[in-house]
Amino acid sequence: MAPKSTPERSSSAVPSSRLGRLMRLGQMATGVAGNMLMAGARQLADGKRPKLSDLLLTPANARKITDQLAQMRGAAMKVGQLISMDAGDLLPPEMAAILARLRSDGHAMPQRQVQAVLSANWGAGWQQRFEPFSFTPIAAASIGQVHRATTKDGRDLAIKIQYPGVRKSISSDVNNVASLLRISGLLPKTLDIAPLLLEAKRQLHEEADYQAEGAHLLRFAELLANAPEFVVPELHADLTTKNVLAMGFVGGVPIESMLNAPQAERDRIVSLLVRLLFRELFEFGLMQTDPNFANYQYDMQSKQLILLDFGATRSFAPAFGQAYRQLTAAAIAGNRADMTQAAMAIGYFDEHTQLRHQAAVLDMMHLALEPLRVKGAFDFGSTDMLQRLRETGMALGLDRDFWHVPPIDTLFLHRKLGGLYLLAARLKARVNVRQLVQPFFNPTH
């Protein structure tokens, strides 16, 4: 795993007990309320009639909320990340900005806590197995942080260490943060975040098992053995436990830093990732579903893409991939009847769904698959497709007559596809998506 070029991180112990974590949330609520009272008093003194939303969404409260969730890490931080990525367009801009910061702001564990976690997992005297072990993390995220270390037998490693208490606090953390956001009025009443909360819990439980992630790492290394354009870090099983993941260190630059690379290189990078997504869905039946840009890095010398973080890996049943193959083929052909059948097979709606809602879903699918209908390169940098998708999705999501949660597999797939579209737009890539997907319609594939 390669380091992320970030500023010096703040260091604070992760509260590991349920009481300690609940107290942190209470402190956040108290601080926000205090800021509201002071701001309201100032506005009243100026002869103004303050609105509740104006008092909540102040810079001071933004800092208070973000800092507290970043210090708690775990599910408290993850739920903010998920809401900001999956529903950001339904949130007030100020709230979206607060939560967006959580995608990169993670306080690091102090050295004493790192040592305690490693002693619990590796036993006393673990330091004797290493030459240098850097206690300054090279990356910190919602459920763990990464350290670089060299073993005495010469292995250059990236060690991912899980924050203490994360696994046992997942459900309560997610519920407590969601309740706090609801009660405080920071989320609109029209936004139903229940499916996102369920996804957050499931995903966190999966991501919190580093031995399972290690198995995914090995599996992807096997699946991509015939694809030298990709690099998957080597798993070091002797140092991997449920709470510690040891991988070979791989150096690279953040994928989004390639914005100024030549057009052909940017096009190639995104083309590789698009084809990988098709292989995951149609060939592997296994997908790394986390769309975070930090999960991809690029080796400037070898021109290889480095794939990091397999915690959010999900298996898809063959029937799921086949239904999406039919949906994709029907969308390319413009066959609404076949699209309807495929959408029903996947579970987007059923025969009892109102025709206008079926039409709205199909319109959104048709829009999302626009790059596949273009003959030749699709210009992600100049299209307004993402904006149109947001507007269409928001209109459908706010229609309470059509409250329907699609199957959980589709939520994971949509997040991955949306993240890939965002990256393609960020890099202003031009990609012949139709050409890349065509081989997967071959029955022999």
Which residues carry out catalysis? 290
Give the total residue count for the chain. 445
- Token code pair at residue 227: 């694809």
Q: How far apart are CA 317 and CA 93, in angstroms?
A: 38
Neighbours of 149 (CB within 10 A): 20
Quick one: which of 158, 336, 371 has its CA closest to 246?
Answer: 158
How far, in whole angstroms, is CA 381 from its chain's centroid?
Answer: 22
CB < 8 Å & 24+ apart, contacts of 212-216? 213/245, 213/309, 213/310, 213/311, 213/313, 214/240, 214/245, 216/286, 216/288, 216/310, 216/311, 216/313
Quick one: which of 406, 320, 323 has its CA closest to 364?
Answer: 406
Looking at residue 187, what DSSP letter applies? Answer: S
Expressed in percent and rounded to 5, the helix, strand and coil fractions of the chain are 60, 10, 30
Q: How far apart are CA 439 and CA 445, in angstroms?
A: 7
Question: Could you give the residue ranges of the DSSP H alpha helices within 300-374?
Answer: 318-333, 336-346, 355-368, 370-373
